């Protein structure tokens, strides 16, 4: 970033004299768009954004569960340009009614405007209505000439973010106020080009929804395969007797939850040590200076969801390294607060080379034993979380392979659909994981496409033609465009953004069919 920026005298305003308002990125973006002949239109001239309402109403919020509550969106659930449904909170229907000025519906766009300024998402069809906190601004493009998904793609580009950053201010914490937000520009493209780009984000939503459906279906079957922990809650007590034989070298009450002990007195089980070929922690490597020789490394931040999340660190390739294998189960093995350990347990669904870091614990289930997805499902249950917490030790909270090997897994009762799913369960999980990966790539594709149009490396007419053909069932031009996308943009020097377009189209068709 240049330290000196020449600002036209006409651009100075007494409203703002901070350097962020006159950034090089903003002027470069504005000049490029103007020279390309594209029009910009302020959001406030197209629609009427809204925020929260009376802050005093925060005192009236009553939280609820996912089954009966209304989704409540905070910044952590906004993964530009999609909603991370696993990170949603929920409020009661009464609270939703009280907070009517912060409600939104499917198709609306929500933007984080405090702290993590500029994160945004379109509310998907899977969430018909939702509510949101005071640090977000919402707007609806219904009845306008703009495609909401395209606008989300535009605002996530480096050019859209330059305009967003310009409007943010604050000496301590960045913030965008509603009057600033209304000045943000919308990029005007032909409707056909908007629809083509926007459909990439809509496809990403569909793939994520399909993946959630697959996993939820399997977990529903899995939860029928073992007795519910709720039947044993009555054994939870501050004072309890424990068997001397069950003791190990940690003597804290949290290490011996009585409800878990009673549960496994009455239900058959195996330990993770018995069904795993390996339980180990990784090794943190030095970052690589050569991208061509680098290998991916999963860190603790990668283990924050159902499937291992990128982007991964790029590290030097070791002469001998212990790489992840498909269906490995992973979680962070250390945290500043013990309650975070076991909250997220991920499964590795890919065949790509990936080295776990020293902050990642890996459980490798033996072939021919229980499905890894069944083990993973149990470990992410309430009972699984209690067991994770029981093996955390140390002032600096951590878990160790020897302790993890003692965790007990209930043997499946093999009823209500077990036979129909057990032999394909892990492959189904893998397909769901691939769908989530493709969803991330499709959102990147949408961003790259907008940037390529602005930069003159892709013509609107080609996108319009591709959309017309797609609507007629012809994917040839779409395939040609997607083949040009690399990890660093269209016609870039990086690797292919989509490594397997046939698999992408297959999963899109599967998601639409299901």
User: Each residue of 169-211: pLDDT tens digit?
Assistant: 877 788 899 999 999 999 999 999 999 999 999 999 999 999 9
What is residue 67's predicted lDDT score, i.e. its pLDDT?
Answer: 92
The reported pLDDT for the residue numbered 277 is 97
Domain 226-411 grouped into CATH 3.90.220.20: yes
The domains of the chain are located at 9-188, 197-215+424-513, 226-411
Question: Matching CATH topology for 9-188 and 226-411?
Answer: yes
Task: Tell me what pLDDT residue 53 has.
Answer: 67
Classified as helix, coil or strand, 114 is strand
Per-residue confidence (pLDDT) for residue 50, from 0 to 100: 95
Q: With 0-12 CB in 10 A as exposed, 13-18 as middle and 19+ as buried, what is 217?
A: middle
Instruction: State whether residue 271 is helix, strand or coil.
Output: strand
pLDDT band of 47, cuts 50, 70, 90: very high
Any residues with CB less than 8 A from the CB of 192 and at least 6 apart, and which? 460, 463, 464, 467, 468
Residue 39 has pLDDT above 90, yes or no: yes
Superfamily of the domain at 9-188: DNA methylase specificity domains (3.90.220.20)
Question: 3-state class of 73 per DSSP?
Answer: strand
Task: Read off the pLDDT band of 423 (50, 70, 90).
Answer: confident
293 versus 144: the higher-pLDDT residue is: 144
Provide the pLDDT confidence category of residue 57 given band limits of 50, 70 and 90. Answer: confident
Mean pLDDT score of the chain: 91
More confident residue, 216 or 251: 216
What lies within 8 Å, CB to CB, of 440 at 6+ separation is 204, 310
Q: What is the pLDDT of residues 349-402, one digit of tens each?
A: 998 999 999 999 999 999 889 999 999 999 999 999 999 999 998 878 899 999
pLDDT reported for residue 217: 92
Identify the pLDDT of residue 1: 47
Nearest one of 118, 111, 115 to 175, comparing CA atoms: 115
pLDDT in tens, 231-256: 888 888 777 676 766 667 676 767 78
Encode pLDDT of 462-508 as tens digits.
Answer: 999 999 999 999 999 999 999 999 999 999 998 899 999 999 999 99
């Amino acid at each position: 970033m240049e330290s000196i920026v020449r600002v036209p005298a006409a651009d100075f305003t007494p409203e703002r004299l901070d350097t962020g308002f006159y950034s090089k990125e903003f002027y470069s973006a504005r000049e490029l768009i103007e020279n390309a002949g594209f029009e910009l239109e302020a959001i406030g001239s197209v629609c009427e954004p809204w925020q929260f309402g009376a802050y005093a109403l925060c005192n009236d919020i009553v939280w609820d569960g996912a089954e009966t509550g209304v989704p409540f969106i905070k910044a952590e659930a906004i993964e530009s340009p999609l909603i991370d449904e696993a990170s949603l909170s929920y409020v009661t229907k009464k609270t939703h009614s009280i907070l009517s000025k912060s409600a939104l519906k499917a198709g609306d766009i929500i933007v984080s405007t405090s702290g993590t300024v500029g994160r945004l998402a379109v509310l998907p069809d899977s969430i018909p209505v939702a509510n949101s906190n005071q640090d977000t601004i919402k707007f609806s493009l219904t009845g306008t000439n703009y495609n909401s998904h395209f606008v989300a793609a535009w605002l996530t580009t480096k050019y859209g973010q330059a305009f967003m950053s310009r409007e943010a201010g604050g000496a301590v914490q960045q913030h965008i106020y509603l009057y600033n937000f209304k000045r943000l520009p919308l990029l005007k493209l032909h409707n056909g080009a908007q629809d083509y780009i926007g459909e990439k984000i809509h496809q990403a939503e569909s793939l994520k929804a399909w993946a959630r459906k697959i996993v939820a279906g399997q977990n529903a079957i899995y939860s029928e395969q073992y007795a519910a922990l709720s039947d044993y809650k009555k054994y939870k007590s501050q004072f309890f007797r424990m068997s001397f034989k069950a003791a190990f070298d940690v003597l804290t009450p949290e290490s011996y939850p009585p409800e878990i002990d009673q549960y496994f007195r009455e239900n058959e089980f195996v330990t993770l040590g018995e069904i795993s070929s390996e339980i180990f922690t990784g090794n943190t490597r030095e970052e690589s200076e050569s991208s061509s020789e680098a290998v991916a490394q999963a860190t603790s931040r990668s283990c924050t969801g159902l499937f291992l999340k990128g982007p991964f660190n790029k590290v030097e390739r070791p002469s001998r390294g212990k790489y992840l294998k498909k269906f490995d189960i992973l979680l962070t093995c250390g945290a500043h607060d013990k309650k975070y350990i076991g909250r997220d347990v991920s499964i590795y669904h890919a065949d790509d080379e990936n080295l776990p870091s020293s902050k990642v614990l890996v459980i490798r289930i033996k072939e021919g034993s229980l499905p890894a997805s069944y083990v993973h499902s149990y470990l992410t249950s309430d009972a699984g979380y209690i067991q994770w917490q029981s093996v955390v030790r140390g002032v600096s909270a951590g878990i160790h392979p020897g302790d993890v090997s003692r965790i007990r897994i209930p043997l499946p009762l093999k009823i209500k659909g077990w036979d129909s799913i057990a032999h394909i369960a892990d492959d189904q999980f893998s397909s769901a994981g691939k769908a989530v990966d493709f969803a991330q790539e499709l959102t990147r594709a949408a961003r790259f496409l907008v940037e390529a149009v602005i930069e003159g490396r892709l013509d609107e007419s080609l996108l319009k033609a591709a959309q017309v053909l797609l609507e007629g069932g012809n994917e040839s031009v779409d395939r040609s465009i997607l083949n040009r996308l690399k990890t660093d943009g269209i016609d870039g020097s990086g690797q292919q953004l989509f490594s397997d377009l046939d698999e992408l189209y297959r999963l899109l068709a599967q998601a639409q069919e299901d």
